Amino acid sequence: MSSFHVLNPGVLTTLQDRGRLGYEDRGVPPSGALDEMSFAIANALVGNPAGTGMLEFTLIGGQFQVGQGGCVIAVTGDMEVFIDDQPVAPYQCHVLRSDAVLKVGRALSGARGYLAVAGGFAASPVLGSVSTLMRGGLGGFAGRAIAKGDDLPLAAPSQYLPVPAQAPAQRFLPQGERQPLRVVLGPQQGHFSDAEIQRFLSESFQVSGQSDRMGYRLTGPAITHLKGFNIVSDAISTGSIQIPGSGHPIIAMHDRQTTGGYPKIATVIRADMARLGQLKPGDWLSFSEVTVEGAEDLWCERQVLLKAYLDELLMRYRRRG
């Protein structure tokens, strides 16, 4: 089988899929692609089954030499892409011949980019997922980020699909949406006064440099607790906004701890998690409150839109095949 030889791994590049679901009661966080939309689109572009693992880049991509046999790839996210030093378009399938050098450059906007290969990478699932959980050393390639000199084996495409028309797909970038991150208050909003909750909803915060796949630490105004900052540990969900003793919010991301002991003032809704995943240190953000029903409607609408878009991409294969 073909492979990718890593010439330059980028800043933080890990194998991710839709996550390791159903083990949170055993202390295992879901992990998985932080921008599930760009992830889903990359798989559709190369004709992979939904959920096939791919590389997730952070801020900048990487450089890879293709092994014998070549492969078909697509890059999503707002990334620069070069094949043998020639710029090519993201959101499009490309055929890479043996020894070709693929370079994924920096993110022009947002923080994450995705590289899908037709057939996927050859990695063994751990608890049903190939997603890398670095804290715990699970999944991916040896449980860690890829490194210079690694040879990343590719799996054989399950079916030899004809490469679809080379016209780039319309971009579907979550970071294009400019509005506050929408949250539902709670489950511990009772630990904060109404005035502090209003302050949380009206002030702006900045994503700090101490932000990673576990959580985003925010700088800006400190939120004051009504009655202390220690609670008896309970579950932390993806998108939970904890207020620790310092008062500076921490938003739990996909590699979070499954339990914790700080009050949670609010939770980011699902429809805004991909946009949150595209935020990078230095970005500003603010929050607005929605109802649970409003959040559910937004997620369901988002799923319908994404499915229509993916169906359109898959049609390209059917038209050619």
Partner 1 sequence: MSTDEQEPSFRIASIADHALYIDFGEVIDVAVNQRVTALAKRTAEAQIAGVTGLIPTYRGLTVAYDCTRIRQSALSERLERLLGEPDAAADPVRCWELPVAYGGEHGIDLLWLADLHQLDPDEVIRLHSAVSYRVYMIGFMPGFAYLGGLDERLHTSRRESPRLKVPSGTVSIGGMQTAVASVEAPSGWNLIGRTPARSFVPSREDPFLFQAGDEIRFVPIDNEEFESLFAQPDYLPQWTWRT
Choose which of 69, 202, 303, 311 interacts with partner 1 (CB under 8 A).
303
Strand, helix or coil for residue 296: helix
List beta partners, residue 101: 65
Q: Report the 10 Å Cβ neighbour count for 2.
A: 19
Choose which of 14, 92, 267, 278 interacts with partner 1 (CB under 8 A).
267
Q: Which stretch binds partner 1 (CB under 8 A): 46-54, 90-98, 193-201, 268-276?
A: 268-276
Task: Outline where DSSP puts E strands in 78-165.
Answer: 79-83, 86-88, 94-96, 101-107, 112-117, 151-153
Q: Is 259 in the site for partner 1 (CB under 8 A)?
A: yes
Strand 287-289 relative to strand 181-185, pairing? parallel
* Residue 64 C-beta: closest distance to partner 1, Å: 27
Q: Is 23 in the site for partner 1 (CB under 8 A)?
A: yes
Q: Is 286 in the site for partner 1 (CB under 8 A)?
A: no
Closest of 56, 29, 55 to residue 255, by C-alpha: 29
Is the distance from CB of 256 to CB of 222 less than 8 angstroms?
A: no
Q: Is 179 in the site for partner 1 (CB under 8 A)?
A: no
Q: Is 265 in the site for partner 1 (CB under 8 A)?
A: no
Choose which of 26, 195, 308, 318 interacts with partner 1 (CB under 8 A).
26
For the chain, helix, strand, coil in percent to 5 are 20, 30, 50
Residues in the interface with partner 1 (CB under 8 A) total: 44
Residues that bind partner 1 in the complex, under the rule CB under 8 A: 21-28, 126-127, 135-138, 183-184, 186-188, 231-235, 237-240, 257-260, 266-270, 292-293, 295-296, 299-300, 303
